[in-house]
Structure 1
Amino acid sequence: MRQRPLGRTGWTVSEIGLGTWQVGSDWGDVSDEEGKRAIRAALDAGVDFIDTADVYGDGRSERHIAAVLEEREEEPVVATKAGRRLSPHEVEGYTEESLRTFVDRSRENLATETIDLLQLHCPPTEAYYRPEVFDALEGLVSEGRIEEYGVSVETVEEGLKAIEYPGVQTVQMIFNPFRQRPAELFFREAKRRDVGVIVRVPLASGLLTGAIDADDEFPEDDHRNYNREGEAFDRGETFAGVPLEAGVAAVEELRPIVPEDATMAQFALRWILSFDAVSTVIPGSTNPEHIEQNVAAADLPAPDDAQHRAVRDVYDRHVAPAVHHRW
């Protein structure tokens, strides 16, 4: 698989990585073996960047990654996140002491002395205006608990503020044909500062697979059921913030744009990779066949100018009014 540099870290990573939210929780019932099988499938396909978080199944995802890597010879870059274990989740909780506690728990879950990449997990916006939060991360680097750090953000504005801190190596954010705002200013600034960009929710919670209908029902413990309006966490994490009916209508208009030799999901992933500011894309799945298809998307031809214009037109008409200036 083709590689891209991950900002200034010195690491190069696979263009397609693996997100492991599904492996841990919030996507219906996934057995331990299904979760581990997904991680093995990604490694078999050449993935060498794996993203997780300490709250995915209360550490379950991290532990599955550690168990699989114990079996294998590969040494992928493993990124985890911290901060969302705070209750209440308020900026005052982002202290060096609490972050050290979270990091030590993740180190134990991941069976590692030093975490490759530690990301703040969508902290309150005010955190980006408190230098002491980032000083705490510097302290964790100096202690050898983490090697590098970055942030996972909800909004473009948070990303722009985060990269003002010189130690921030990466920014993880939502970007896909239904969430295009990052391409306007943020990508340019990230590239100028040589900050790695990790793209999450690339398939808009399954909308961009083309397999979801407006009347579909989801399991009780699936965030696509219980977080449509942001009842549990930021609404933008579910269907990329797009109302389901509008998203399904937009997908139908995208279908004629998708090449005959690609799936809708593959086209969406390749569209994302056509932006050179992107370091890696982290679709999540527990289906080994889907993981292999996701990886194969990197080898497809890049969308041409006409396809880019068509995607933008669909976005402007169906999606932008609901999401563009919100995130």
Structure 2
Amino acid sequence: MADKMEVLVSGASGFVGQALVKNLRDLPELRVSGSVRSAQRNPIDGMLEIGDIHSKTDWSALLRNKKVVIHTAALLNSTHDEVADRLAAFREVNTAGTLNFARQAAAAGVRRFVFISSIKVNGEQTLRGVPFKEGDAPDPSDAYAISKLEAEQGLWEIGRDTDMEIVVIRPPLVYGPGVKGNFASLVALVCRGLPLPLGAVENKRSFVSLKNLVDLVTVCMVHPKAANQLFLVSDGDDLSTPELLRRVATAVEKTAILIPVPNRFLEFAAFVLGRKMQAQRLLGSLQVDITKVRDLLNWEPPISVDEGLRRCCEAKRDY
């Protein structure tokens, strides 16, 4: 019997990492392990403790015999108040930590390094109907996105200098069972039946279900044409904010109560309340074009938006 391919998933206790480990372990041809910051806090079989990720982290023990690495671990929030300190904190983990990991992976004989980046590298918003594409000039606007872009740039250099293949995936907002943040807040508001002043919003936004993202990562691990490529990913079905809320309502067997308040009033209220960025995500557009991944890898999202939302909201039906 052929040897199983050894795979390491970093950030295996995170939202995406957990789902990847769970799904990859169902594939009989793989032997999958995951790295976590603390094994005591994540007592899951096969989880390997790595501690903090930074420019000096020693990955050598975890990389032994690994042929594919999927790097999902990242600093998402920083407690630093000063802009310079925030950027330094993100760079230490997301840039220097990633590149240190990749260099050690290449030296250990890893064949392919799959990096989960972010659509925020492209920017925060698009014109409606003018989606981001892989060839667009990056336009990161915050410390997190800058650190991810710099990690990507360093990875391409490592790929050119070594035999290790690089794959970069930039997802938009990822939703699925256990999702937190603004998406979870929206679901909770719909579940409570509260009226929302978003009925007049005419934007378009791309999302990607956890199931679809995991499926694409699985393809990118082994597909020959994925080597040294950048991909944008989504569910392939962009939604306005009212459309999203109505579909969430259907998924939780509720009715979305949407009041048509003009955008200019919502924008003014957000400005007064200091919630400009939150309003942008509700009112503005952010679309991605997945033509490249469809054409080059012959990949299609395996589940629809409605199925993704059903899975995401299943536990909240009785909220």
Q: TM-score range by the shorter chain?
A: 0.3 to 0.5
- Scaled by the length of structure 2, what TM-score is found? 0.34
> Greater relative contact order (Cα 8 A, min sep 6): structure 1 or 2?
1
- Scaled by the length of structure 1, what TM-score is found? 0.34
